[in-house]
Structure 1
Amino acid sequence: MNMLIDTHSHLFLEEFVEDLPEVIERARQAGVTSVFMPNIDRTTIEPMLTVCDAYPNYCYPMIGLHPTSVGESYEEELAVVRQYLDTNPHRFIAIGEIGIDLYWDKTFLNEQLIAFERQIEWALEFQLPIVIHTRDAFDSVCQVLEPYKGTSLTGVFHSFTGTEEEAARLLEFDGFVLGVNGVVTFKKSTLPQALKSVPLQRIVLETDSPYLTPAPNRGKRNESARVSDTLNKVAEIYELPRGQVSAITSENALRIFKIPQ
């Protein structure tokens, strides 16, 4: 049986409180063998760990501070992340999701830059990959990462929706892959064209549940089972069998997140 990994899913959010067991069961039925869970801020750590404890070796947690949660008390938020890392670094498969988001608000850009860079340093210290959230901040993210090009830093550019040129620029970071989700199925998405220049070895699949539901279910709550809709579209773009695409993208995920097969 092929592996299919959802490398980015927030199944610990309140959207799933009512029916999480059914959501997990549908994911299993869809062939999903693992779900990787990025943290948001200190309010989500315990719910996330509770879900991961309930589904061991299936749901895997990350630790980090999401850029939209960076505000005046960002130092306190980062202190919580650091505390979890110091206490049990082997509990987490990555530092994430971290990055820069200037879509909603640019007020805390400086704080976002500090938080992003500090968490990159922690990733190197603990030898963990990073999962990067970028929204309206492509150049800023590239600038922050540039000095780390020669280091052992690895990770995922989550929810890649950019152009061929932007893909090429991100692929210059050797240890990184692009996270592809339901956006690739949207009618107006230019992503199918951009991906034609990206080797399949540099892609992982994700849902970003409960957000970014792929066609044909747009507008409904997203869940991990729907990574199979993204798989279908990616297989079509690369003109390869589904099984081959799920195997290669899953191997990519296991390699980046250092999870034994």
Structure 2
Amino acid sequence: MIITDTHTHLYSEAFDEDRAEMIQRAIETDVTRFFIPAIDSTYTASMLQLEKEFPEYVFLMAGLHPTSVKENYKDELAHVEGQLAKRKFYAIGEIGIDLYWDKSTLDIQIEAFRHQIKLAKQYKLPIVIHCREAFDEIFKVLEEEQSDDLFGIFHCFTGTLEQAQQAISYQMKLGIGGVVTFKNGKIDQFMNQIDLKHIVLETDSPYLAPKPYRGKRNESSYIYKVLEKLSELYVKSPEEIASITTENSKAIFGI
């Protein structure tokens, strides 16, 4: 069985004490494909080091996270462009809009999001979307930018069935993680109405640990709890869920 974690911040400071052991735990539980989203330039060196240490398992993205869109965002976008010109990446992410932490930067968040969508099209790469309290704003940009060459993953999907269907209509897979195991997560109530061909697995570690680890540091090996929950919701074996979602990830990332 091959399990793909399509979104994990393995370079996070939360793993500085036991990173190698944590990754080994995941590999031993069949998680052997880790897709690594960018945040901003301060993490580039640690992402490259992670890839150097685990070249068979780690696949990097380039991008500017919406919560890192500050006064210097144009410099950060230039850094993303420089990285893309230098080497291979597997997606532009994570990018998008976050209105939970700071609504005052909405205009420049939209500008950065749109700019990075254009980079994704230029490099023929998928996008990986971060959306927090911003579905309407994200969908407006996707509506305006939609084209055959715009596709990707709606990371950490937490919306309604209608929002799920709208995201899918823009050629987005839904990134499903620990939230599907939460009592108040709500997405478990309609998950099985969405065809598995639209789903990929993720942890977003070190954040959003699934039950029974909720509130603790998340790690990629905990993805098996997401797998178990989806197995229950879809009435399919974990092996079948793992196989379908890994194939979906290959269709998005091209590897």
Contact 1:12/1:48, CA 8 A, preserved across alignment: yes
Partner of 2:117: 120
Quote the offset at 1:31 in angstroms. 0.9
Question: What's the Cα RMSD here?
Answer: 0.8
More moved, 148-157 vs 39-48 = 148-157
Partner of 1:155: 152
Contact 1:164/1:193, CA 8 A, preserved across alignment: no
* Secondary structure class of the residue paired with 2:93: strand
How many equivalent pairs are there?
A: 255
Contact 1:15/1:210, CA 8 A, preserved across alignment: yes
TM-score using structure 1 length: 0.96
Alpha-carbon distance between aligned partners in 1 of 2:184 and 2:141, rounded to the nearest angstrom: 30
Partner of 1:7: 6
Contact 1:133/1:158, CA 8 A, preserved across alignment: yes
More moved, 189-198 vs 128-137 = 189-198
The runs of at least 4 aligned residues of structure 1 exceeding 4 Å deviation read: none
Q: Which whole-Å deviations, capped at 9, do the CAs of 1:89-138 have from their partners, x for residues lacking one?
A: x2x11000000000011111110000000000000000010000000000
Partner of 1:82: 81
Quote the offset at 1:218 in angstroms. 1.0
Partner of 2:247: 251
Partner of 1:52: 51
Alpha-carbon distance between aligned partners in 1 of 2:113 and 2:146, rounded to the nearest angstrom: 16
* Percent of residue pairs identical: 48
Partner of 1:37: 36
Contact 1:185/1:230, CA 8 A, preserved across alignment: yes
Contact 1:6/1:36, CA 8 A, preserved across alignment: yes
Quote the offset at 1:193 in angstroms. 1.4
Partner of 2:222: 226
* Secondary structure class of the residue paired with 1:133: strand
Partner of 1:217: 213
Partner of 1:136: 133
Alpha-carbon distance between aligned partners in 2 of 1:53 and 1:116, rounded to the nearest angstrom: 29
* Secondary structure class of the residue paired with 1:33: strand
Runs of 5+ consecutive residues of structure 2 not aligned to the other structure: none
Runs of 5+ consecutive residues of structure 1 not aligned to the other structure: none
Alpha-carbon distance between aligned partners in 2 of 1:150 and 1:69, rounded to the nearest angstrom: 27
Corresponding position: 1:182 with 2:182: no
TM-score using structure 2 length: 0.98
Alpha-carbon distance between aligned partners in 2 of 1:169 and 1:194, rounded to the nearest angstrom: 14
* Secondary structure class of the residue paired with 2:193: coil
